[in-house]
Structure 1
């Protein structure tokens, strides 16, 4: 029998105290059923959206996880057992599995994707070629429909999705302004990602800095909500567009937050605001993958990894991501 370690959701976290809400457990793996596959994780992805799954809110895009169940998240690794012909043993796969050594899933329910090894770093299936990259491309190109020469503002610009949205905007010819926390992150956003400017929300007046943009903000890639959204709304250009990818400022709230103070600018400036969710467009996956892979191989786009080693340290990695201590994509290396 094989022992599997996994993180169990025991209670709803209060703030960032995840250690009081989740516990590391052990189990003996049982044989898989017809239609299932088992993936031995090499890496786990730390994603902000999963914070809502830990709470009790019923109004999210996915119901909350029942207490006492294994924590769900993206896993990347090799198939060790399979009763689905699309996923042969030994193949590389990514899926919504569990925070565990082994994820046992039904591929269609777990949005499993067979992957190729034709890249120099398989971690990029969590990075440029993964859902963060797909989300950045979908939001900037399809939702915002950015045009060459327009001004694109990206919040959380040093994070996993934001850093890729900055680069997508640059590749498509936009003038890109990032918003990030601290001088080191802002330096990274400009010098490495290629943004024209980065606003340090920890040390600058964001609204005032955005007010310096000539002609206003044409398009905004929204990752955070809260005061940053208010600062953006009062500086949008007439007929500006906002693509809502994430609202991390509200993910740990027991109920919905009050609306932005400057919501009236939606009318005054005739803004279009659209929330988007990648699983709504699974048919676009091949296009996203092929486009991003070409850009990656041409050296136009990349993302660094903020790596925490050991399944037992998953909560450390998760807290780093949610509190903005990471630069780039936060992952857990569980190969040892």
Structure 2
């Protein structure tokens, strides 16, 4: 899986609706050389996440879109192979944002050193990284769960949702998931400890939610919006809270979809709040301390869906938006020397 050239995947055209593999271009260029104060990273793992669909569009958002003919953005776990930076040495493992490419030069400001003795280095793209922080802070800060409450989470077997349900259980809540297959629901209940899980493809959402949430819904952790949110709103309790974290059901929409009836938010005096993990970087240590302890104690379980080869990234990403992944989706770009 190593090469003398730098493989890169560029955004070739802006997708209309669902992305196609022709929207991307796989190119090869010389491996770059680090300048003064820079490091050269060899990508080991690339994270694939739903937010990337928004970065492919030129509509207004919280960050600038990826420029056409530019390397697709993405979080990475890499090894430093050349260093002209005083804080990094050759051989260091680092978490960064080098994008869809096999090698990248970095100035080091956004790199975080990883200790492979503490956890598998790929975990930094999931449970001890951005997805884990999203689950932790959106649930605890926005949702503010209290023992005995009912927490519903969509995309329950995914990188964020699977952690949300487990933290909800740690906090003494009833955890109810919504997922896209019986296998994913079985995993949420039997492996992760959810109290119930609803198959959104085979069950009628309103009646299934009523059965799974006999005392109503206090917190809805929303990764998807759309039909699940509409069904949840009919069963929220007084003072319910809704961390709005993702809109995966809408990312491929060519036109904004009709919204759900928001009247229950008014009647139940509920809180719905948008959440961006970027706002919580200054509290990373707090998150890492808690999640690392829960991992050591066996209170958190974690599943990865690893795809081999950068050339398969675009196909895997398209599958992610269709719900085909099972666990945190990662591309293994180069060999992992820690394994």
In structure 2, the partner of 1:246 is 246
In structure 2, the partner of 1:104 is 105
Aligned residues: 332
User: What TM-score results when the alignment is normalised by the length of structure 2?
Assistant: 0.93
Q: Does 1:258 align with 2:258?
A: yes
Matches within 5 A, 1:124-273: 124-212=123-211, 213-254=213-254, 256-260=256-260, 262-273=261-272
In structure 1, distance between residues paired with 2:39 and 2:278: 21
Check the 8 A contact 2:150/2:218 in 1, yes or no. Answer: yes
In structure 2, distance between residues paired with 1:224 and 1:100: 28
Q: Does 1:311 align with 2:313?
A: no
Deviations 1:293-318 (A, max 9, x none): 11111111121111110111111221
In structure 2, distance between residues paired with 1:320 and 1:255: 21
In structure 2, distance between residues paired with 1:309 and 1:49: 21
Deviation at 1:255, TM superposition (A): 5.2
In structure 1, the partner of 2:24 is 22
Deviation at 1:235, TM superposition (A): 1.1
In structure 2, the partner of 1:87 is 88
User: What TM-score results when the alignment is normalised by the length of structure 1?
Assistant: 0.94
Check the 8 A contact 1:13/1:20 in 2, yes or no. Answer: no
Deviation at 1:123, TM superposition (A): 1.7
Gaps of 5+ in 2: none
In structure 1, distance between residues paired with 2:316 and 2:245: 21
Indicate which of 23, 29, 35 corresponds to 1:33: 35
Deviations 1:83-116 (A, max 9, x none): 33233221111111110101223333xx322211
- Deviating runs (4+, > 4 A) in structure 1? none
Deviation at 1:2, TM superposition (A): 4.6
In structure 2, distance between residues paired with 1:302 and 1:286: 20
In structure 2, the partner of 1:11 is 13
In structure 1, the partner of 2:56 is 54
Moved more, 221-230 or 119-128: 119-128
Check the 8 A contact 1:128/1:293 in 2, yes or no. Answer: no
In structure 2, distance between residues paired with 1:65 and 1:333: 22
Gaps of 5+ in 1: none
Deviation at 1:127, TM superposition (A): 2.4
SS of residue matched to 2:21: coil
In structure 2, the partner of 1:71 is 72
In structure 2, distance between residues paired with 1:302 and 1:215: 27
